[in-house]
A and B are shown apart, each in its own frame.
Chain A
């Protein structure tokens, strides 16, 4: 007979585990709940004293109030940069990851180690130089520059991750294609590419979240308002806001969080696979 519920002893042993879960919830949730609460209050209630946790009356004014052209532009910029970085990073990394997996020459190994070591250089170190390099050129405040920088930041992890996927493709399939007269590039495009599609999905999710959540690159390399991103938009409320901006700020924070949560809920397994593939960059 199979029991649906675990036996009693197991239940007792699980108690400390659930105590920890409750403690974690108490540590994790309050600021998030506070933001949610603030975003749903009428403007005057956001700074009410004594403070109120449950908004009464509920007001969605903050959510309708954030959609001005500047903020919409921030969202559009983040989307464009994330999309561009996904395309560029994958185009650049797949061939490199492929030859790094299939041709294990010593020179190539050294090259790949170099790539990995370089991608561990602290972001702030290169951003300062990038700023002084490009500040007077017409490349400053353009999508291509930002996309190249984002792609460079994640190439190391992307290649590492893709390598583990390509390793799992049996070489025999490629050999069979080679015997049938396929060239190296045809093998890559027609056989390897379709076979690593799940890996590409995971890495695309990873790149999306990386670019969407980044604050520093766009702070340093986008100096005009029309090139700033969602994360700059969040901080802008705090640094340049006047009057009572807390309701709008909270609504904006949550709206900026929605895409990441949506991707997480929809693709949880791939999401975590991509995230654990390395993950040093902050």
Chain B
């Protein structure tokens, strides 16, 4: 092999390209600054705070892992992890099939498509604060239609949010109600990739709609179902607003998920170190879910 000598022209081109590559970084400086302020800085501060004793919002002396020891020896933690699981899985079990069915229905109807799509999307167009508060009014124990309905059936007035179990069920269902259109949108995109020919050939062979669904559509959607599951779980694990505007985590701590615990520890208990430790635990769960998401996105692109 002979050594490579560059012609003057090629050399000039080479240095030009190199300079260009160095200049590329200028284009990402603004986004780096924004991310340093919004994510990197706060994450560093969270770790720093979790390792110190805090008094109100003052960070005091170094305290090692005390905040984490406190966190994991807290009796409430187990019930909050349970609440988070029940909330996330409950909402998922409702929102996932609802989203998938809405997407399939929307994909198959031939008339009023825009109208039906708007109807399906309506809850999600609302803000989380709106979704939470309008259900609060709908379920109002004195004047809400839900109570009137229960009374007409001979049941007493229903104070949904004052009973621990019914409060958790209510916030879970409200969250599912608000979020199923997101699953629907993701499924709609995926349904477009199901080849029509396969369905047609099945029809020619005399298969019915159900067989078409289980043998053609579902296998095609398998990977997108997994990624929708991950997207929704991430959404539910970090959900604060709907719970905050309806129950604030109460009654007692019946609806306090980990994310709400972070909020309450900061703004009710003023326990900044504790909140930071909980926040890092939440962050770890999120990383886990992100890794699953990345794994499946790779598989999908193969």
Partners in one complex: yes
Number of A-B residue pairs at CB separation under 8 A: 252
Within 16-44 of A, Cβ neighbours of B (below 8 Å) are at: 17-18, 20-21, 24-25, 27-32, 34-35, 38
- Tell me, in angstroms, the Cα distance from A132 to B46 when the chains sit together: 9
For residue A216, which residues in chain B have a CB less than 8 angstroms away from its CB? 240-241, 244
Closest to B290 in A: A120
In the complex, which of the residues A96, A149, A282 contacts B239, with contact meaning CB atoms closer than 8 Å? A282
Closest to A276 in B: B185
Whether B286 pairs with A120 at a CB distance below 8 angstroms is yes
For residue B87, which residues in chain A have a CB less than 8 angstroms away from its CB? none
- Tell me, in angstroms, the Cα distance from A212 to B144 when the chains sit together: 28
- Interface membership of A75, Cβ < 8 A: no
With A128-B275, A213-B126, A238-B245: A152-B143 Cβ-Cβ less than 8 Å: no
For residue A280, which residues in chain B have a CB less than 8 angstroms away from its CB? 231, 234-235
Whether A132 pairs with B45 at a CB distance below 8 angstroms is yes
Which of the 9-residue segments B21-29, B72-80, B194-202 touches chain A?
B21-29
Whether A148 pairs with B37 at a CB distance below 8 angstroms is yes
For residue B135, which residues in chain A have a CB less than 8 angstroms away from its CB? 31
Whether B123 pairs with A28 at a CB distance below 8 angstroms is yes
Whether B145 pairs with A30 at a CB distance below 8 angstroms is yes
- Interface membership of B136, Cβ < 8 A: yes
Whether A132 pairs with B49 at a CB distance below 8 angstroms is yes
- Tell me, in angstroms, the Cα distance from A23 to B148 when the chains sit together: 21
Which of the 9-residue segments A59-67, A163-171, A195-203, A246-254 touches chain B?
A246-254
In the complex, which of the residues A10, A95, A111 contacts B30, with contact meaning CB atoms closer than 8 Å? A95
- Interface membership of B130, Cβ < 8 A: yes
Whether B283 pairs with A155 at a CB distance below 8 angstroms is no
Closest to A117 in B: B290
- Tell me, in angstroms, the Cα distance from A50 to B152 when the chains sit together: 10
For residue B42, which residues in chain A have a CB less than 8 angstroms away from its CB? 125-130, 133
Closest to B57 in A: A132
In the complex, which of the residues B37, B45, B142, B279 contacts A47, with contact meaning CB atoms closer than 8 Å? B142
Interface residues on chain A, number (Cβ under 8 Å): 95
Whether A282 pairs with B238 at a CB distance below 8 angstroms is yes
For residue A159, which residues in chain B have a CB less than 8 angstroms away from its CB? 31
Closest to A132 in B: B57
Whether B143 pairs with A51 at a CB distance below 8 angstroms is yes
In the complex, which of the residues A28, A30, A129 contacts B49, with contact meaning CB atoms closer than 8 Å? A129
Closest chain-B Cβ to A258's Cβ sits at a distance in Å of: 11
Within 139-167 of B, Cβ neighbours of A (below 8 Å) are at: 142-145, 148
- Interface membership of B282, Cβ < 8 A: yes
Within 104-135 of B, Cβ neighbours of A (below 8 Å) are at: 105, 108-110, 114, 116, 118-123, 125-130, 133-135
- Interface membership of B14, Cβ < 8 A: no
- Tell me, in angstroms, the Cα distance from A94 to B46 when the chains sit together: 30
Whether B108 pairs with A124 at a CB distance below 8 angstroms is no
Whether B27 pairs with A99 at a CB distance below 8 angstroms is yes
- Interface membership of A87, Cβ < 8 A: no
Whether A21 pairs with B39 at a CB distance below 8 angstroms is no
Residue interface bits A226-270, CB-to-B below 8 A is 1, else 0: 000001101101100000001001100100110011001000100
For residue B62, which residues in chain A have a CB less than 8 angstroms away from its CB? none
In the complex, which of the residues A30, A119, A260, A268 contacts B39, with contact meaning CB atoms closer than 8 Å? A119
Whether A279 pairs with B31 at a CB distance below 8 angstroms is no
Closest chain-B Cβ to A34's Cβ sits at a distance in Å of: 5
In the complex, which of the residues A51, A121, A151 contacts B43, with contact meaning CB atoms closer than 8 Å? A121
For residue A219, which residues in chain B have a CB less than 8 angstroms away from its CB? 244
Closest to A18 in B: B109
Whether B133 pairs with A155 at a CB distance below 8 angstroms is no
Interface CB pairs A-B, < 8 A, 12: A28-B120, A91-B30, A115-B31, A115-B35, A119-B39, A126-B46, A129-B42, A132-B57, A149-B37, A212-B127, A250-B137, A280-B234
Please report B residues at the A interface, Cβ cutoff 8 Å. Answer: 20-21, 23-24, 27-28, 30-31, 34-35, 37-43, 45-46, 49, 57, 59, 101-102, 105, 108-110, 114, 116, 118-123, 125-130, 133-138, 142-145, 148, 177, 179, 182, 185-186, 188-189, 209, 231, 234-235, 237-241, 244-245, 259, 262-263, 266, 272, 275-276, 279-280, 282-283, 286, 290
8 shortest interchain CB distances as A-B pairs: A152-B38, A129-B42, A213-B127, A122-B238, A95-B27, A126-B42, A215-B129, A92-B30
